[in-house]
Chains A and B, each alone.
Chain A
Amino acid sequence: MIGRKGAFHDLSWRLPAPGGGALAVWRRNLLVWRKMMGASLLFNFGEPLIYLVGLGYGLGMFIGEMGGLPYRTFLATGLLASSSMTTASMEGSYSVYTRMVPQQTYDGMLATPLEVDDIVAGEMMWCATKGLISSAAILLVAVLLGAIDSWQALWCLPAFMLVGLCFAGPALLVASLARSWDIFAYYVTLAITPMFIFCGVFYPTSSLPGGVQDVVGILPLTHAVALIRPLAAGLPLDHVALHVAVLSAYALLGFYLAAVLTRRRLIA
């Protein structure tokens, strides 16, 4: 008899104030991941290997260079960015919804000193961590295949975390609004997949028509690729502050709205 839907009178717009409990939420997810680490890592290493060998060498034969880089390096450095996006988005939407609704994991947590803000912050950090793991796996594969050979690439690791946070925020926002799993298919088809194709992972955005470039320029993956590609390829960096600012803005706005809406959903 607890009405949760549309309890707008309880909608509090106050800023999230997560505490140390967020770390406990993050650790809970890490513990689950560790139990299934084998399968996760196989996926994390196997998929980029197929992409890099299949597309990198296959297409690379015809393309040669792109944007001043051998094509397999161009592709590898693009996938570094997109993999954090995909992984963090999946975790923040499907997995978070599963914990929130069918498993009622959060209801259990809310009977402890944890607050909704802790849960959302902990989930956000975990999504970014998973993004970091998947991109780091690609980095390792790319290095072993010789597609990346610059020590500067190590700077990618904090950047992966930032990209993960950037996509975790909006994904958590979508999860907080979801009434079933169906909405995530729309989110992937309408938001994630177009970014994967249009934001510079496979070719430079400069080859797109002018109007499309303007739209693509405000999408977060464009900035993620523009930040990570030169870092990984050992090239000079451009507009770092802008890219970091855009990625942070998506992360923070997503986190804020996700916290407000998840509060509305879980606390009547």
Chain B
Amino acid sequence: MHSPDPVILARGLCKNFNGLAAVRGIDLDVRRGVCFGLLGPNGAGKTTTLKMFLGQCHKSGGELRVLGMAMPQQGRKIRRRMGVVPQADNLDPDFTVYENLLVYASYFGIARPLARERIDELLDFVGLSDRAATHIGELSGGMKRRLSVARALINDPELLILDEPTTGLDPQVRHLLWTRLRELKRSGKTLLLTTHYMEEAERLCDELAIMDHGRIIAQGSPRAVIRQFVEPDVIEIQGCPPPLHAGLTAANAGRLEIFGETTYVYTADAQALALCLKQSPEISYLHRPANLEDVFLKLTGRDLRE
């Protein structure tokens, strides 16, 4: 399929739960072959949005087309060409690793011989070939997540949806998953993922959207979003003394933000400021380029979310 249509197209997409708005009119285009990240604090409406994409949650308003077809009306057809890695693993505990994949293949109506072929490839892909006969209860969290990824690929989907795929995993597994996801993207699949890790989004995603309170508040490539919303450099000063703070303000050194003991200076001219700070060895500071986390915190605030 080489349609120019976006893989996911949402216009004014809404979802209410008993009158409470969870998603308040979002517009989204996920182009074929990209890795798209959906970011946002807890309760921003990310998971609801994903569930609408896969038809487990029906929209209250707006338009939604996935793989060129109307969701939820053509959900069955859409899901035939889609793979899903859920936030909480829902592998079948009554089966072994191999049986999980075999039974899941049967839900897609995939014939046994083809399923067996794919299972061998997929177990190899996620590094679980030696665990084929292991029961789900005996797998570690990382193994379960890798199996969930293999399961989501059993129908060789065009679109892979991953809800917080690396939450709670150790660095080794995260890096393995990142490598695999990049390979999948190279092979032409479209990836849509949610994550709380900004560094993960920055590394993996070609495009992203930041959601808060059911709306999209920023959208674009990670670099473009950073350029659009924050100054290029950040200097973090630990325990900034009041005179220095006053001086920074007077000199118009940059945008200042204080959180706890740390003063963040967002600036376009970090060189001059760093040079100045070097002369006071008693002050400890860190100079770094601005990243997605700075954008995220600027847009969604530093308050805790439930």
Contact = CB atoms under 8 A, between A and B. Distances in A.
A111 to B, nearest CB: 4
Interface in A38-75: none
A113 to B, nearest CB: 5
Given A103-B92, A105-B90, A105-B92, A113 B80 contact: yes
A1 B58 contact: no
Contact of A20 (B54, B94, B109): B109
Contacts of B95: 31-32
Given A111-B79, A112-B79, A268-B51, A2 B106 contact: no
Interface residues of A, number: 32
A209 interface: no
B6 interface: no
A212 interface: no
Interface string A256-268: 0000000000111
Contact of A2 (B54, B57, B155): B57
A110 interface: yes
A116 to B, nearest CB: 10
A32 B94 contact: yes
A28 B47 contact: no
B238 interface: no
Contact of A113 (B83, B92, B108): B108
A108 interface: yes
Contacts of B106: 24, 27-28
What size tier do the contact residues of chain B reach?
35 or more
A109 interface: yes
B8 to A, nearest CB: 16
Interface string B42-68: 110101100100111110100000000
Contacts of B48: 1-2, 268
Interface in B106-133: 106-109
A10 B58 contact: yes
B108 A268 contact: no
**What are the 6 closest A-B residue pairs judged by CB atoms, nearest first?**
A104-B90, A111-B84, A3-B17, A112-B107, A108-B90, A268-B57
13 contacts: A2-B57, A3-B17, A3-B20, A3-B22, A31-B95, A32-B94, A32-B95, A103-B90, A113-B77, A113-B108, A266-B56, A267-B58, A268-B17
Contacts of A104: 88, 90
Centre residue among A19, A24, A108, A114 by max chain B CB count within 10 A: A108
Interface of B: 16-18, 20, 22, 42-43, 45, 47-48, 51, 54-58, 60, 75-77, 79-80, 82-84, 86, 88, 90-95, 99, 103-104, 106-109, 151-152, 155
B26 to A, nearest CB: 15
A3 B20 CA distance: 10
Contacts of B17: 3, 7, 268
B107 A113 contact: yes
A108 B22 contact: no
Contacts of B91: 108
Given A1-B47, A6-B18, A267 B56 contact: yes
A123 to B, nearest CB: 14
A112 B108 contact: yes
Contacts of A20: 109
Contacts of A105: 90, 92
A173 to B, nearest CB: 22
A108 B56 contact: no
